[in-house]
Amino acid sequence: MLRTQNDPEYIKTLAKFVDGKIQSLAKNNPRLSISQLALLTAINLADEIHSADSQAHPRGAKKR
């Protein structure tokens, strides 16, 4: 069981989102283990976050 300060429904929403990402990768990569799928999902999500952050805050942009 996970313990968090966040709303349980929000956590369920996040879990479904991550599960969807894992299932999508599993469909396209049936030979990967669940551990490999989880790691690949984590890397893909980190890439999405990093890319979004880079677009929102380009390097060289002047800070206020």
Q: What is the pTM of this model?
A: 0.78
Q: Is the dihedral of CA 43, 48, 52, 55 positive or negative?
A: positive
Domain chopping of the chain, boundaries = 22-53
Q: How far apart are CA 64 and CA 57, in angstroms?
A: 12
Q: What six digits make up the tokens of 18?
A: 């991550």
> Dmax over Cα atoms in the chain, in whole Å?
49
What kind and span of H or E run contains 48? helix 34-56
Query: Residues 15-55: pLDDT tens digits?
Result: 999 999 999 999 999 999 999 999 999 999 999 999 999 99
Q: What six digits make up the tokens of 23?
A: 């299932």
